[in-house]
Amino acid sequence: MSDAVSQAKQYIEEENFSEALKIARKRHGKDDVESYLLILDLLIEANYLPAFEEKGLYYQYYDESHDSGDYGEKYFDKYLEKQPKSVNVLCDKAMSRFNKGEVNEALTYMDKAYENYSSYSKIEEPRISKKEVLMAKIELLIKTKHYEDALRFLNNYENQYSSDEKSDLYKGQMLQKNGENEEALKYLNKSLFEEDTLVGFNAKGDALFELGEYKEALKCYKNCLHYESKVEDDLELVTNFNYKAAFCCVNLGDDAEAVKYLNKTINMLNEHGRLPKDIEAIYQKCSFEKERIMKKGDVEDKEFRKTRFFSTKTSIILLIIIIILYFILKMNGY
């Protein structure tokens, strides 16, 4: 047993549970997961409620298997058995359900957290404000592509708390998703004035693209490229600003530049094997567009040009050398 665990055990025997939890968190910070979990188990045996949430959060965010896909939910459930109005743990439970694909249940738990804010348990203080709980629900709606509902709650958010940098960004994004592109630009410009963000540039690019302002849209998509390495796991997002950059160039009459972006998009998607239907449709669209441009004969495909072929003369010489080597090997008994 490590010194840290021994010290934590001593604190638990003295019912100084908060100090034991501090030690556990320090061990986690030093990547000593074994001691961290051992101390949490000792605290759980002592029915120290915060330890249940702490262990649930570990499996939700840090454990690679997320406790075989449970995402800490069983620990949140044990906590909620004792404190069913816990705002914090209702939000935790919502994220567990979301991670398991139960979107409607996740939203229900987030609603409960919001409703219980005025009557939360006196033994705990919510870590996040009521305003932040509402924003968390909006973010869940955005992640699940419930764009109209997200926009409705963003309007409620604005009415209750006024707009801020995050709500301006999301509202601009949702307005664009719902086809209100000119209105979207007002919010997106306001958001981007405060901070340059990939989501902001991508949404602004989409709004301008839909409005036919391809030159300005292309500037936004080029700004997105600066962040590409940080979001390469988000295939939908990366595909969007790359392929639309290509079609901005097509609409601007710059076929050579369009082919550059088309090649990049096609090659990128080729590396992912089987694609979702919507992204597969983009892949086909890019392939057809590249073929159309190449048939015109006005553009040289630099990707294709990188493949070098031998001249006829060189090929004949190489063939003769291979034949001679073959006969030499035969004569020597090979």
Q: What is the pLDDT along the chain (334 residues), one digit of tens a residue?
A: 688 999 999 999 999 999 999 999 999 999 999 999 999 999 999 999 999 999 999 999 999 999 999 999 999 999 999 999 899 999 999 999 999 999 889 999 999 988 888 776 666 678 888 899 999 999 999 988 999 999 999 999 999 999 999 999 999 999 999 999 999 999 999 999 999 999 999 999 999 999 999 999 999 999 999 989 888 889 999 999 999 999 999 999 999 999 999 999 999 999 888 899 999 999 999 999 999 999 887 777 665 444 334 445 555 676 777 877 766 776 776 6
- Measure the CA–CA gap between 282 and 268, rounded to whole angstroms: 12
All residues at 6 or more sequence positions from 18 whose CB lies less than 8 Å from its CB, including other chains = 50
Under 8 Å between Cβ of 283 and 266: yes
Please tell me the number of Cα atoms within 13 Å of 325 on its side-chain side: 6
Whether pTM exceeds 0.75: no
Using the Cα atoms of residue 71, residue 72, residue 78 and residue 80 in order, give the sign of their dihedral.
negative
